[in-house]
Amino acid sequence: MPENLLRGKKGIITGALDENSIAWQTALKAKEQGATFVLTNAPIAMRMGAINELAQACDTIVVPADATSVTDIEKLYDEAKEFLGGNVDFILHSIGMSPNVRKGRPYGDLNYEWVQKSYDVSAISFHKMLQVAEKKDFINEWGSVVGLSYIAAQRAYPFYSDMSEAKAILESIARNYGQRYGQLKKVRVNTISQSPTKTTAGSGINGFDDFFDFADMMSPLGNASAEACAEYIITLFSDYTRMVTMQNLFHDGGYSFSGITPTIVEKFLSK
């Protein structure tokens, strides 16, 4: 395993809810690789308490912030700057939520207020975090910002509902802000399109378990775990990916480029 890939780097990690969270695994890896960072999550998620254990393990603090609130993001950056003693080199946006998915509303009967909420929480918050960072000049030159996406941004997956559009917006923001921030400050912005992963957000999706198994069979390497995703995120925060920006990067064991796999054919023939 490489060592100290993030030595001397400072950052912000959003979205660690419990040990299954991609953000939780990322925090552990970032600490292991020598980074210092501040954790944050929505005030409501804080009540579950687990994030404080993570903060202890990572020698850091938790600053509650609703990522849809510009005021909360401003406060988060100010407090992080004080705690870290300066600006940051990386930010992880690991946030997603759709009230329509949660409450089982079918795609042909969406509640449009909830649609707005899905977009705001899962996508526009990414823009808000970038815009506030730019205005405050909060990210150091050659910094790296990563968001987490899903292949439903490109292809139709009925169970993913309005989160499909949310992810398409998220990826578009990475491209457009990536161009802007790259020119302004050499800051890179990317999204990682991750395999289905057994987390609170993932498992909240109807039929997730069946689809998880299907995706696993469609991926030559199998589904990528939250831990493997965290390792990929660390490489994107490291100096070894300085010229990668405006990309949506598939981290899915080969799923996105598999037409069909022998495992699926066998399964089909054995019926």
- Residues with a catalytic annotation lie at 150, 160
Provide the binding-site residues for ligand NAI, judged by CB under 6 A: 14-15, 17, 21-23, 41-42, 45, 66-68, 94-97, 121, 148-150, 194, 196-197, 199-202
Residue closer to ligand NAI (CB basis): 96 or 143? 96
Residue closer to ligand NAI (CB basis): 36 or 94? 94
Sign of the Cα torsion 185, 183, 122, 128 reads positive
* Beta partners for residue 10, in sequence order: 36
Q: Measured from the CB of residue 85, what is the shortest distance to ligand NAI in angstroms?
A: 24
262/267 Cα distance (integer angstroms): 9
* Beta partners for residue 91, in sequence order: 12, 145
210, containing H or E segment: helix 208-218
Question: Annotated binding residue at 22?
Answer: yes
Question: Annotated binding residue at 15?
Answer: yes
Residue closer to ligand NAI (CB basis): 18 or 185? 18
Q: Measured from the CB of residue 229, what is the shortest distance to ligand NAI in angstroms?
A: 8
Instruction: Tokens 């831990």: give the residue.
Output: 227
Query: Taking a C-beta distance cutoff of 8 angstroms, is the pair 225, 197 a contact?
Result: yes
Q: Measured from the CB of residue 66, what is the shortest distance to ligand NAI in angstroms?
A: 5
Question: How large is the C-alpha radius of gyration of the chain?
Answer: 18
Binding residues are: 15, 21-22, 95, 167
Binding residues for NAD(+) are: 15, 21-22, 95, 167
